[in-house]
Amino acid sequence: MNQHVVHVSEIGRARRVAAPERAVPATGVLLDRLSRPLTDLRISVTDRCNFRCSYCMPKEVFDKDYQYLPHSALLSFEEITRLARIFATHGVHKIRLTGGEPLLRKNLEVLVEQLAAIRTPQGAPLDLTLTTNGSLLARKAEALKAAGLNRVTVSLDGLDDTVFRSMNDVDFPVAQVLAGIDAAHAAGLGPIKVNMVVKRGTNEQEILPMARRFRGTGVVLRFIEYMDVGATNGWRMDEVLPSAEVVARIAEEFPLAPLEASAPGETAQRWAYRDGGGEIGVISSVTQAFCHDCSRARLSTEGKLYLCLFASSGHDLRPLLRGDADDAQIASAIGHIWQGRTDRYSELRALRGPDTDAAAPRRVEMSYIGG
Ligand code: SAM
Ligand code: SF4
Ligand code: SF4
């Protein structure tokens, strides 16, 4: 038995949520203690993945002995949809399906269809997106579009097949992910975003080939700073390539001009190619924290609500869902939780360095709550 094996339910410690005594009715705007509204919900539909990216699910930890959640622990599509409908009454208008690898969840398009039927209090449909490693996208793109998915984000850490195979660590060929991106484009799941996590010394040489490949195609390429999420990836600051350096390297070949954020709470800083070849984005979670307008909550596969990517515990909504709480009581519980939120890990990291205290509670894994 691998000594690192930790059951996911231990990682995802949770407070059991009781229906609060003080009612917090849904008014369409819910603010936390730092006046940040809840607008964006990321839903993890599985804790499993067919890749073993070393920065997320390193092989040594996520091996054959690793215990994933049993099927009975997962929220059903009906439970997820019920929660999503309640979140929408609090002002959530964007939902991103994630994981693990979300396309591994069977019949995901059925969930997409249910979520696509939800309306905001103003009567608008939700902005429904999905983040995927792209491995199964070529097969699923059309069905997802037909079910009502608006857009996809595909994670792709390089174009060189050898680099890509070693980063996913399961020898998966890059050509199949590129075919998935083409299929998503053909199905109308655009504008497609492609996310590249940049690790200094590992795939930094892929930055320019990626920029050249996607420039002028309508795909928005975004570079993500390697983050100290979870507790298994052995993160080191010297492996972070600051976004400012990514922008400088690209601008040497293709001059860039800064663009305004497209929406409040936008995680990426946007840059336009000066010659009209489209735009890129950089997500600088390490060097330029954006907690001040973080409006995102995360729902784990088994129904725990996390208020920050770096949280060590969540709020367990499943007992409410599987008990006899009505929608108003669940809305009130969610309202109560969000109103108490003060999380701003990345800002604190910038002020006092990464949290390396071995005695601190273990942080939840990104593969468990999604990116
Ligand atoms: N499996 C899907 C995928 O890879 O797109 C969805 C889940 S994955 C956890 C979501 C995103 O988190 C991916 O874009 C991935 O690159 C990013 N990610 C995972 N670990 C990361 C880390 N340590 N630093 C920065 N981004 C990370
Ligand atoms: Fe899987 Fe996505 Fe994590 Fe890679 S980043 S191991 S594809 S969940
Ligand atoms: Fe939001 Fe937490 Fe990330 Fe800050 S560190 S932006 S609060 S998820």
Task: Give the mean model confidence (pLDDT) for residues 239-266.
Answer: 93
Could you read off the pLDDT of 254-296 as tens digits, one per residue?
A: 999 999 987 777 889 999 999 999 999 999 988 888 899 999 9
- Answer yes or no: is 2 within a domain: no
Q: Which of 3-7, 75-79, 297-301 has the lowest mean pLDDT?
A: 3-7
pLDDT at 4: 36
The binding-site residues of ligand 1, defined as CB within 6 angstroms of any ligand atom, are: 49, 55-56, 98-99, 101, 131-133, 155, 195, 197, 224, 226-227, 229, 233, 366-367, 370-371
Say whether pLDDT at 331 is over 60: yes
- Answer yes or no: is 336 within a domain: yes
What is the total count of domains within the chain?
Answer: 1
What spacing in Å lies between the alpha carbon of 88 and ligand 3's midpoint? 21
What spacing in Å lies between the alpha carbon of 229 and ligand 1's midpoint? 10
- Answer yes or no: is 3 within a domain: no
pLDDT at 365: 81
Distance CA 179, CA 240 (A): 29
- Answer yes or no: is 1 within a domain: no
What spacing in Å lies between the alpha carbon of 295 and ligand 1's midpoint? 19
What spacing in Å lies between the alpha carbon of 100 and ligand 2's midpoint? 6
What spacing in Å lies between the alpha carbon of 237 and ligand 3's midpoint? 18
In this structure, the residue with its CA closest to atom 7 of ligand 3 is 344
Say whether pLDDT at 222 is over 90: yes
- Answer yes or no: is 234 within a domain: yes
Say whether pLDDT at 143 is over 70: yes
What CATH number has the domain bearing residue 258? 3.20.20.70
Please report, as a single letter, which amino acid is at residue 39. Answer: T
The minimum-distance atom of ligand 1 relative to the CA of 101 is 1
pLDDT at 344: 92
For residue 88, the enclosing domain spans 8-369
Q: Whole-prediction pTM value?
A: 0.93
Say whether pLDDT at 2 is over 50: no
pLDDT at 45: 98
Percent pLDDT > 70 in the chain is 93
Could you read off the pLDDT of 29-78 as tens digits, one per residue?
A: 999 999 999 999 999 999 999 999 999 999 999 999 999 999 999 999 99
Say whether pLDDT at 221 is over 60: yes
Burial class (CB in 10 A: 0-12, 13-18, 19+), 122: exposed
- Answer yes or no: is 103 within a domain: yes
- Answer yes or no: is 40 within a domain: yes
- Answer yes or no: is 318 within a domain: yes
The minimum-distance atom of ligand 2 relative to the CA of 101 is 8
